[in-house]
Amino acid sequence: MAAREGDLEQALIMGERALEGDRQSVPSLIMTSRELAAEMRRRYGSEPAAQDYLARLHSLAEQKPGFMPR
């Protein structure tokens, strides 16, 4: 995963792509989003781009209960 390899920009690109459009495997999206969110918080919590991405995930979680853990 790009976030674990220290590539914040690529991780954000991949994360945004995963959230766009229709998704066939919702469980896969949820699992991947949770993993990426945890890594973003741990490694890049102070980076504005990571904060924006996490805010987007938080917004999705409010719209779709169960999408992200609280």
pLDDT tens profile 41-61: 999 999 999 999 889 888 877
Phi and psi at residue 27, in whole multiples of 5°? -60, -40
User: Which residue numbers in the chain have pLDDT < 50?
Assistant: none
pTM strictly above 0.75: no
